[in-house]
Structure formats: structure tokens, C-alpha cells
Amino acid sequence: MKILVVGGAGAMGMVTTRDLAESPEVSEVIIADANVEKAKQTQAWTGSKKVSVTKLDVLDHEGLVSAMQKTDAVANAAPYHLNMVITKAAIDAKRNLTDLGGVYHMTLKQLELDKEAKKAGVSIVLGCGVAPGIADILAKFGAEKLDTVGEAHIRYGEVNFDSAKYKWTFRTVLEEYTAGPVVFQDGKFKELSPFSGKHVFEFPEPIGKRNCCYALYSGLATLPTSIGKGARVVDCAMVYTDEDEQRIKILNEMGMTATQPIKVNGVSVSPREFLLRVAPPPDVNVKDAAGIVVTISGKKNAESVKSTYSLVFHYHKKYGVSALAYLTGMPLSVVAQMLAKDEIKQRGVIPPETAVKPEPFFKEIAKRGVKITETVQRAHVL
């Protein structure tokens, strides 16, 4: 089978590309990227003759559709703000697609294309990295074991053993910390200010206790409904640092996050877009540990049940990439292969927790060293 990886030379996409190339059932992996030089470096880094490169501007709709039609499925690892144009192209190309998530608001827009995707007979599986992705599948998996669900909490944590500013694209970081998070509390969606919900959460070692705050999380667009069973609270929090908060505060005060264009020497440009263009690329090779903890609480028969799912992954020595990069890029490869083999039968624009069968998925990521621990606490309800 042939898989097209849009943005396959990026920080996460390069992992997707290599995992696909190392998968026996994949015959060809095509990196579609505007940066041909970087794509060729990724091609060489994989060490696989299966990998080829094609120069592609995702804003060239006809060119993107044509490239998709030559493959069996598409993995979208491009920056999230391009998700709509790539999703529309996949629908027109009638090719199954998976991506890394739309930072909530983009996900809502993609979900509006559900009827078009169903009409085209394609599966568009959203947010198949670690969080969103593995975390959402675990949340649904835990909820399915209960009669009723009270709360679902997702926590992402990491610790860096090298100095690093950002390990994912700064565009995502900026959106997370300026738009403000969304949570589902008391059965209602609530929009909060940036850095809300500060608390200390204890992750498994070596991550340990970390400062967290609520995240603008793609999964919140679907999890309250897909979990169902009376869930009243669904939220996601991720690690942050005082440096992160101070940096964003200064950029806001200086007007550098503004989206309204201004004229500079006769050229119109928004401060935010200028900032994104000059920001350094993400640090891919940081030695770190990263992980998630997903907690689902509710009732089963006459018992109160709390299930906790956790995983921790260390810097990937073979690939020479951060744990975050591997945990994000690898699941995208796994789901893309499921789509290429038509193992996902549901059509439309769908979240990972309803599209992906958990047991086969967990088996595949376990083959790659990502293992999940389940802890269940029960108490009899009088």
C-alpha cells in the first residue's frame, strides 16, 4: 500500500514517514512537502528505498487532490491551520485521511464537513497523535467499561533532560496560550482565559510532579458526546512553565500576537504572522520523557469505579527524536495504515475515540514500545 504524508518532513511528520517506511505492509511512502531540501534530508534519514519526495503546496488544490489519488491513504502532519484545505482535498480525492488535530476550533470546522465526507465515502479521522489521539481512545475505552460516567480527565506531562524552548510548532503553542482553553464542566462547555486551572499533577516517574493548566484541546470538541453516559466533566491539562507564561505575556503586551495587519514600509503584515515566520523551528532531538494520564470515574453495577490509564515514553534513541515527537508521529502512521487497509469502516469526519478500535491499536503501539498501564479502584456504593 502507498501512503502520502503531507508535511512528512516536519518535526512530527518525519516520525510518521519513518514508521511507515519500516512497516512491512507499506510498499511506498511519499513525502509531500513544500521544502524539498528538508524532505530529501528526511528521506535519507529513514534509510529506506520505499520513501520518495514530491514538492507540493497544499494551497494548490488540484495538485494536492492529484497527489492523494495516487495513494491508498493520506497522513496529514502539516501545521493545524492547514487542516481544512487538506481535509477538503481528501474528500474531493475520495481518499481516507488522518491528521494530528485542529486545536479545538479547527476541529469544529472540520466536523462541519461530515456530510460531504460521508457522501464521498471516505473516513477522515481527526487528531491521531498522543494527545489528541492515544489519550482520547483511552478515555472512550475506559468509559465503555462503566454504566455511567461522572468525569474524564486527560493530563499530558513531560520533562526535558536537555534545554529546549518548544518541541512542537510555535503556531500551536501560540494558539494554545492566547486563545484560552475550553473545558466541559457541569454538563456545559466553558471558555476560560489562558493559563486557567493551574495545578500540580503527579505523573509517573521520571516525569514526576509538574505544573499544569487547562489546554485548548481538540478532543474537547467530541469527547463529551462520544463518551456520553451522563458525563458532567471532561477536561485536558498540559504542562507549562513560568517562562512560557511570561513570554506570552510580554508578546501580548508588545502587540506581537495581534492578528490585525499593519503596514511596515508599505507592506501589510499582521504582527502575529510575522512572529510565526521568525520563530525558531521546534526542537526535535531533545532528550526527554513524555507521557499521559487519563482518568475515568463513574459507576458499574453497585460500585463506584475510577480507572486510570498511564504511559511514559523516553527519548527515542534509534530515531534520535524526542519522546513527544515519537508519541505524536507514530500513532499517525498506525491509523493511516488502518485506513489504507479499510479497517476503519465508519465514514465521515470522525474523532479517534469512535473511529479506532482500541485493542488492535494498543497492540500496534505496544509493538513500538509504547505500553499502557491500567489501574482500577472500586468502592461499594451503599
Contact in structure between 185 and 224 (CB atoms under 8 Å): no
| pLDDT at 381 (0 to 100) | 59
The β-bridge relationship of strands 73-76 and 288-300 is unpaired
User: What's the average model confidence in pLDDT over 168-173?
Assistant: 85
- Of 4, 62, 58, which Cα lies nearest the Cα of 31? 4
Q: What is the pTM of this model?
A: 0.96
The arithmetic mean of pLDDT across residues 248-266, rounded, is 90
Query: What DSSP assignment string belongs to 277-334?
Result: HHSPPP--S--EEEEEEEEEEEEETTEEEEEEEEEEEE-BTTTTB-HHHHHHHHHHHH
Higher pLDDT, 379 or 327: 327
pLDDT at 308 over 70: yes
Query: What is the average pLDDT value for the chain, to the nearest integer?
Result: 95
- Yes or no: say if 321 and 314 are a contact pair by the CB < 8 Å rule: no
Average pLDDT over residues 215-236: 97
| Residue 237 confidence (pLDDT) above 60 | yes
The Cα 94–Cα 179 span in angstroms is 33
Between the CA of residue 69 and those of 131, 135, 230, 341, what are the distances in Å?
29, 31, 42, 15
Task: Count Cβ atoms within 10 A of the Cβ of residue 195 and give its class: 0-12 exposed, 13-18 middle, 19 or more buried.
Answer: middle
Tell me the mean pLDDT in the region 315-343. Answer: 97
Q: What are the tens digits of pLDDT across the range 90-102?
A: 999 999 999 999 9
More confident residue, 244 or 221: 221
Q: What pLDDT score does 13 carry?
A: 97
Per-residue pLDDT at 306 = 97
What is residue 123's predicted lDDT score, i.e. its pLDDT? 98
End-to-end CA separation in angstroms for the chain? 55
Domains, the chain, in order of start with CATH, read 2-129+323-367 (3.40.50.720), 134-322+370-380 (3.30.360.10)
Given a cut of 80, whether residue 331 has pLDDT beyond it is: yes
Residue 382: pLDDT over 60 = no
Q: Determine the average pLDDT of the residues in 181-207.
A: 97
Beta-ladder partners of 75: 5, 98
| pLDDT score recorded for residue 302 | 85
Q: What pLDDT digit, counting tens, does each position of 23-66 carry?
A: 999 999 999 999 999 999 999 999 999 999 999 999 999 999 99
Report pLDDT for 255: 92
Q: Which amino acid is at 144?
A: E
User: With pLDDT > 90 as the criterion, what percentage of the chain qualifies?
Assistant: 87
Q: Is 43 helix (H, G, I), strand (E, B) or coil?
A: helix
Neighbouring C-beta atoms of residue 55, cutoff 10 Å: 12
- Mean of pLDDT values over 358-364: 98
Grid cell, residue 120, equals 464521498
Closest CA to 241 of 172, 165, 312, 175: 165
Q: pLDDT tens-digit profile of 264-288?
A: 888 898 999 999 888 888 889 999 9
With 0-12 CB in 10 A as exposed, 13-18 as middle and 19+ as buried, what is 301?
A: exposed
Could you say which DSSP state residue 120 is in?
Answer: H
